[in-house]
């Protein structure tokens, strides 16, 4: 990408989109298009097409999505499938219609089959049943990947798709009703420390294993792939290392300074038992993650305990 290229980051207020914008600016890109969901509702086909017609972006990072943890996916299945289908269909089709140079679509590692072999290789997609708690979201994201591949096969559009692992970092969603596990734990432990609450309760058994990637590392990977990858196959982005939820809770207690009891509510669902990505493909391309988990959590908590805890309690797209 030329430094003067017009780049549209869809979802620039969210965790991933805001990190991509930060990274692009660090690289020296100045012509970055950003629209809030209030300014441009990506579920609205006419609005999206009008935006592309007027602005004519050359590159698109499609990071906009409706996202959330187990509770949000359980409570809002219709919104998770409808909103994500509409967002990706509208943006991908307009990117084709107005002949952009390249589009990068963000999938998610949670759309792999629930009981796929570990670590998760790219070719495992659609080889088994999905995790029931997030099936609507997964179906929508799989559709986005297939849309990119279909436009590539039929029209030759340079649309690529990536599969990031569980993410965390600055500008995350800390709303306990809709957030993912790491930001939810950060808020719970932080507030328990401040209030002197003697215990923190965590959903599930604490035994599931998860991989976590600092979002600025993901942004770096996306920019790298936008420059160096032009194939139709999906690309995993992660660290290739996982820990149990119980181990994550212990790290979070240490970093936040919480010294009380950690209680596990086994009546709540665990979700997928283990989920770790095979990142050999992106490693062979020349990229690897560099932020250790504890360091990334410390950076995030420093931000969260300052301004983040009051400014970012809800989803932002």
pLDDT for 308 beyond 70: no
Binding residues for NADP(+): 11-17, 106-109, 141, 164-167, 180
**Would residue 221 be called left, alpha or beta, if left means φ above 0 and alpha means ψ between -120 and 50 degrees?**
alpha
Distance CA 217, CA 215 (A): 5
Distance CA 255, CA 252 (A): 5
137 in catalytic set: yes
Please provide the size of the chain in residues: 317
Tell me: the pLDDT tens digits for 164-212? Answer: 999 999 999 999 888 889 999 999 999 999 999 999 999 999 999 999 9
Tell me: the pLDDT tens digits for 286-299? Answer: 999 999 999 999 99
Alpha-carbon distance values, 170 to 19, 55, 125, 254, 303 (Å): 8, 28, 29, 19, 7
pLDDT of 89 reads: 98
Tell me: the pLDDT tens digits for 58-112? Answer: 999 999 999 888 888 889 999 999 999 999 999 999 999 999 999 999 999 999 9
Residue found by looking up tokens 């629930």 in the block: 114
Both structure tokens of 121: 């290789």
pLDDT for 313 beyond 70: no
Q: Which residue has the higher pLDDT, 179 or 48?
A: 48
Residue found by looking up tokens 């780049």 in the block: 7
Domains of the chain: 7-311 (3.40.50.720)
Binding residues: 11-17, 106-109, 141, 164-167, 180, 188, 203, 210, 270
Work out the pLDDT band at 317, boundaries 50, 70, 90: very low
Selected catalytic residue, list 29, 59, 112, 137: 137
């Amino acid at each position: 990408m030329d430094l003067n290229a017009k780049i549209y980051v869809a979802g620039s207020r969210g965790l991933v989109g805001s990190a991509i914008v930060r990274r692009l600016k660090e690289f020296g890109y100045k012509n970055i298009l950003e629209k809030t969901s209030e300014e441009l509702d990506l579920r609205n086909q006419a609005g999206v097409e009008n935006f592309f017609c007027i602005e004519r972006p050359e590159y698109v990072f499609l990071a906009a999505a409706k996202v959330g943890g187990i509770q949000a996916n359980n409570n809002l299945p219709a919104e998770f499938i409808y909103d994500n289908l509409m967002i990706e269909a509208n943006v991908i089709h307009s990117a084709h219609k107005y002949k952009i140079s390249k589009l990068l679509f963000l999938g998610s590692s949670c759309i792999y089959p629930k009981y796929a072999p570990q670590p998760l290789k790219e070719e495992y997609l659609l080889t088994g049943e999905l995790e029931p708690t997030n099936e609507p979201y997964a179906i929508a994201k799989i559709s986005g990947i297939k849309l990119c591949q279909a436009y590539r096969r039929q029209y030759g559009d340079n649309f690529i798709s990536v599969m990031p692992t569980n993410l965390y970092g600055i500008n995350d969603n800390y709303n306990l009703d809709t957030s993912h596990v790491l930001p939810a734990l950060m808020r719970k432990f932080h507030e328990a420390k401040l209030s002197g609450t003697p215990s923190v309760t965590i959903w599930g058994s604490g035994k599931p294993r998860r991989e976590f990637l600092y979002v600025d590392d993901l942004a770096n990977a996306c920019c790298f792939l936008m420059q160096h990858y032009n194939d139709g196959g999906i690309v995993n982005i992660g660290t290739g290392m996982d820990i149990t939820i119980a181990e994550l809770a212990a790290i979070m207690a240490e970093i936040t300074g919480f010294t009380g009891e950690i209680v596990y509510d086994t009546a709540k669902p665990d979700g997928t038992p283990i989920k770790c990505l095979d990142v050999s493909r992106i490693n062979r391309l020349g990229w690897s993650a560099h932020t250790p988990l504890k360091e990334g959590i410390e950076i995030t908590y420093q931000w969260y305990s300052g301004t983040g805890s009051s400014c970012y309690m809800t989803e932002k797209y």
